[in-house]
Structure 1
Amino acid sequence: MTPSARLAAAIDIVNAIAADRRPASEVLKEWGRGHRFAGSGDRAAIAALVYDVERRKASAAYLMGAEEGRALALGALKLARGLDVDAIAALCDGSRFGPAPLTEEERGKLEAGSLDGAPAPVAGDYPEWLDASLAAVFGEARAAEGQALAERAPLDLRINTLKAAPEKATEALAHLNPATTDWSPLTLRIGFEADGKAHALTAEPAFIKGQVEIQDEGSQIAAILAAPPRGGQVLDLCAGGGGKTLELAALMDNAGQLYAYDSDMRRLAPIHERLQRAGVRNVQVRTPRGATDVLADLEARMDLVLVDAPCTGTGTWRRNPDAKWRMRPGALAERQKDQAEVLDAAVRFVKPGGRIAYVTCSLLDEENGGQVRAFLARHPDFAVVPPDDTVLALGERGIRLKQAALASAEGLLLTPRRTGTDGFFVSLLARAA
């Protein structure tokens, strides 16, 4: 397919996403099934265009004065890709499979339009109904935080120290020019190919051998700050596919006992193969079994309970840009209810002197500090471990991390703008001995 034909296809898909209110991934997959002639390179390029539009949908609509797919795509080409009007006009060549030529009005807006004076939700490309929540956390910087969330996320790997020393893993991936990062000593960051495509990491021998896992640096930091004790008893209460479980096991050097549980056994399905590939030996997977309490024997025994809580995922908008436009206020209220329930459920497993690590991939105080404050009111035998102490798990890097992140009385908030990671909130809650 020509670049013009790819742009035309992206415009059609953007229109379909808006009309059907379905995830972009589903619409893209459906388009691919109906257009078998499109090769993998075409599909990847079209998907990249579609996601760039979703990242900058509000600002593109403001720039172009319209919200249909063509206007959004033209605006995104300028705002997300930095193309000038002549480069955009070359793509709108009026060819058989390409978009129609630019109108004079479109050309004028692409040449002279700007976001000067745009309201924060437009400049920051986030839903207007979230403005008050983001203002409560970031104040006048909320548009800048939103702009960072509208950028493309990096591809981060975590070195699995159970299988490889950092030097060995780095050497195994030398052909991809991995870079180290500022905060986690376990992170390798891989750049994108010249055409913007991500490398097929799951086909790399280092991945197949379990030497590395795909995991954002922010997620890695959250597990490190939880500080699982070597030789201790740890419960990952919302283990999902096992990403943080794997890291906790490595941080514990396969010593002690780590229990992985999730209320939805379908989310746990990938964990078994991942544990085997990673060389993990200290994990017991506890699968829900109807009315049976499969965690009853763990009561008051845990040194650490990790609550990687269900949340709105506002901190991951770089990876799921269309999700922000499908999010509704009711979803936030539902997640708050889930978070309170899982935090309360964690209490019975924490022994005197033990801790809960409360983690979300959200930027909203309603899901972060607000949840912690409400939890402490319900459970006065717990107290927040001060962020100054929490970051010591990262040594000198942790001190610099606290300066970069947004620290509060309840915990530490990482954001793409501040720390170059996905958005993550981490709070450690210690039980009185």
Structure 2
Amino acid sequence: MTPAARLSAAIELIDAIDSQRVPAAKALKEWGTAHRYAGSGDRAAISGLVWDVLRRRASSAWIMDADSPRARALGMLRLESGMDVDMIAALCDGGRYAPQPLSDTERAALSARTLDAAPAHIAGDYPKWLDSHLAQAFGDDRVAEATAMASRAPLDLRVNTLKAKREKVEGSIAHLGARPTPWSPTGLRIELGADARNPGIHAEEAFIKGAIEVQDEGSQLAALFSAARPGEQVIDLCAGAGGKTLALAAMMQGKGRLIATDHDKRQLAPIHERLSRAGVHNADVRAPKGDSDPLSDIKASADLVLIDAPCTGTGTWRRNPDAKWRMRPGALDVRLKDQVEVLDRAAKLAKPGGRIAYITCSVLPSENIEQVRAFIERHPEFALVPPEQTASVLWDKAEAFAEAALKSPEGWLMTPRRTGTDGFFVSVLKKQAP
């Protein structure tokens, strides 16, 4: 397919996502099935265009002074791809499979309009109702922070130290352009270009043998800050598919007791195969059965309870830009209630001297700092572990990390703009002896 044909296909897909109200991933999959003549390179390029339009949905419409699928696609080419009017016009020449030529109005908009006068939620590309939340988190920096959250994300990998060392794995996947991540001592990063195809990590020998897992560097750091140690009893209370469970297992070096559970047993389905591939032998996966508590035998005996809390996922917008436009205020209210419940549950599991590591992939204060403050008010037997102490696991990088991330007494907030990771909040609390 020509670049012009790819652009036409992207506009068609954006229209389908709008009119049918379907998730972008589903629309892209259905388009690929219906257009089997399109090669993998074409599908990757079209997907890239669609995701970029979703990332720049509000600002692109502002630039064009119109909010149609075509207008957003043209505005994105200006903002995200850096194309000038002539370059965009060359794609829209009205030829076979190409978009129709630019109108005079479109040319004028592409030539003259800027984001200088745009409101913060337009310039930053996020729903207007979230503006007060992001202003609380970042103040006048919210546009810059949100713009970074609208950028493309790299592919981060975590080296499984139960099976390999980072230097060896880096060499084995050097053909993919893998390089060490800036902060995590077990991370590797593959930068992805605008038209990049899926690098096929799951087909790599290192993945098949359990030496690597796909995991954002921010998620890796969140697990590291929990300071899980060999010989401890550790509970991953919201284990899901097991990403942080695997990281905890590696930190524990196969020694101690690791329990993984989740309120939704369907989320646990992939964890068994992942644990087996990673060579984890000290993990006990407990799926809920009916109304029974899978942790009923544990009474204030855990050294560490890790909570990868259910949240709005605002910190992962660069990986799932579709989600931010579908998010509604009611979803935040539901998540806040879920977080209270899981925190209170964790409080009963931790032993005196034990720790709770509370983690979200959100940047919203109501899910982070405010949630931790409210927890301490309900449970004064818990005290905050100083953030600088949790970051000490980074050794010689701890000082640089402290300058990059946002620190509060409650914990660390990582963002794409500041740390180059997804948005993650981490707070560690210690239960005092009676």
User: What's the TM-score, normalizing by structure 1?
Assistant: 0.98
Q: CA deviation at 1:378?
A: 0.7
Asked if structure 2 preserves the Cα contact closer than 8 Å seen for 1:202 and 1:208, the reply is yes
Code of the aligned partner of 2:181? T
Alignment partner, residue 99 of structure 2: 99
Partner of 2:244: 244
CA offsets per residue over residues 334-387 of structure 1, 9 Å max, x none?
A: 110111111111111100110100000000001001110111111110111111
Could you tell me which amino acid in structure 2 is paired with residue 289 of structure 1?
K
Which residue does 2:336 correspond to in 1? 336
Matched with 1:200 is: 200
Separation (CA, whole Å) in 2 of partners of 1:87 and 1:198 = 27
2:26 matched to which residue of 1?
26
Say which is worse superposed, 381-390 or 142-151, in terms of deviation: 381-390
1:289 lines up with 2:274 in the alignment: no
Identical counterparts, % of pairs: 61
Partner residue in 1 for 2:148: 148
Q: Distance in 2 between matches of 1:79 and 1:198?
A: 24
Shift of the alpha carbon at 1:194? 7.6
Give the whole-Å Cα distance in 1 for the aligned partners of 2:26 and 2:226: 35
What amino acid maps onto 1:155 in structure 2?
L
- State the alpha-carbon separation in 1 of the partners of residues 190 and 66 from structure 2: 37
CA contact 1:354–1:431 (8 Å) conserved in 2:
yes
Q: In the alignment, residue 143 of structure 1 is paired with which amino acid? A: V
The answer to whether 1:272 aligns with 2:272 is: yes
Where does residue 123 of structure 2 map in the other structure?
Answer: 123
Taking the aligned partners of 2:187 and 2:90, their CA distance within structure 1 comes to 40
Task: Indicate the SS of the match to 1:29.
Answer: helix
Q: How far apart, CA to CA, are the structure 2 residues paired with 1:397 and 1:254?
A: 26
Change (3 A) 1:50 1:95: same
**How far, CA to CA, are the matches of 1:282 and 1:17 in structure 2?**
45
Contact 2:85/2:111 (8 A) holds in 1:
yes
Change (3 A) 1:128 1:193: closer
Q: Residue type of the partner of 1:154?
A: P
Question: Is the 1:121–1:128 Cα contact (8 Å) retained in structure 2?
Answer: yes
2:127·2:325 contact (CA, 8 Å) conserved in 1? yes
Find the aligned partners of 2:176 and 2:430 in 1 and give their Cα distance: 42
Separation (CA, whole Å) in 1 of partners of 2:35 and 2:172 = 37
| 2:21 is equivalent to residue 5 of structure 1 | no
User: Following TM superposition, by how much is the alpha carbon of 1:193 offset from its aligned partner in structure 2, in angstroms?
Assistant: 5.6
Aligned to 1:263: 263
Rounded Cα–Cα distance in structure 1 between residues aligned with 2:358 and 2:388: 16
Q: Which string of whole-angstrom CA distances, capped at 9 and with x for unpartnered residues, describes residues 210-245 of structure 1?
A: 111110000000000000021100000000000000
* 8 Å Cα contact 2:44/2:195 also seen in 1: no
CA distance in structure 2 between the aligned counterparts of 1:197 and 1:104, rounded to whole angstroms: 35
List alignment gaps of at least 5 residues for structure 1.
none
Aligned residue number for residue 39 of structure 1: 39
Secondary structure of 1:298's aligned partner: coil
Could you give the per-residue CA deviations for residues 318-337 of structure 1, whole angstroms, max 9, x where no partner exists? Answer: 00001111000000111101
Contact 2:169 2:211 in 1 (8 A): yes
Select between 88-97 and 51-60 the one with higher mean Cα deviation. 88-97
Q: Which moved more, 1:190-199 or 1:105-114?
A: 190-199
CA distance in 2, matches of 1:194, 1:71: 20
Worse overlay, 25-34 or 334-343: 25-34
Amino acid at match of 2:266: R
Q: Answer whether contact 2:57 2:72 (CA < 8 A) is retained.
A: yes
Partner of 1:61: 61
Equivalent position SS for 1:229: coil
The amino acid of 1:171's aligned partner reads: G
* Distance (Å, rounded) in 1 between the aligned partners of 2:223 and 2:70: 43
SS at match of 1:171: helix
Q: 1:194 to 1:105 in 2, by over 3 A?
A: closer
Within 5 A, what are the aligned runs for 1:362-377?
362-377=362-377
Q: In the aligned structure 1, how far is the partner of 2:87 from the partner of 2:200?
A: 30
Partner amino acid, structure 2, of 1:172: S
Matched, 1:170 2:170: yes
Deviation at 1:38, TM superposition (A): 2.1
Q: Tell me, what secondary structure is at the counterpart of 2:320?
A: coil
Contact 2:40/2:197, CA 8 A, preserved across alignment:
no
How far apart, CA to CA, are the structure 1 residues paired with 2:59 and 2:194? 26
- Look up the SS of the partner of 1:219 in the other structure: helix
Which ranges of 4 or more aligned residues in structure 1 deviate by more than 6 Å?
none
Residue identity opposite 2:413 in structure 1: L
Partner of 1:222: 222
State the Cα distance separating 1:203 from its structure 2 match: 0.9
Greater shift in the superposed pair: 173-182 or 315-324: 173-182
Q: How far is the alpha carbon of 1:111 from its aligned partner?
A: 1.7
| Partner SS, residue 296 of structure 1 | coil
How far is the alpha carbon of 1:83 from its aligned partner? 1.3
Aligned pairs, number = 433
| Preserved contact between residue 382 and residue 429 of structure 1 (Cα < 8 Å) | yes
Q: Deviations over 1:109-146 (max 9, x none)?
A: 11222111211111111111100000011000000001
> 1:257-283 CA deviation, whole Å, 9 max, x = no partner?
100001111110000110111111111
| Contact residue 229 and residue 303 of structure 1 kept, 8 A | no
- Distance in 1 between the 2:341 and 2:315 partners? 21
Displacement of 1:310 in angstroms is: 0.4
Partner of 1:421: 421
Q: 1:356 maps to which residue? A: 356
Q: What SS class does the counterpart of residue 157 from structure 1 fall into?
A: strand
TM-score (norm 2): 0.98
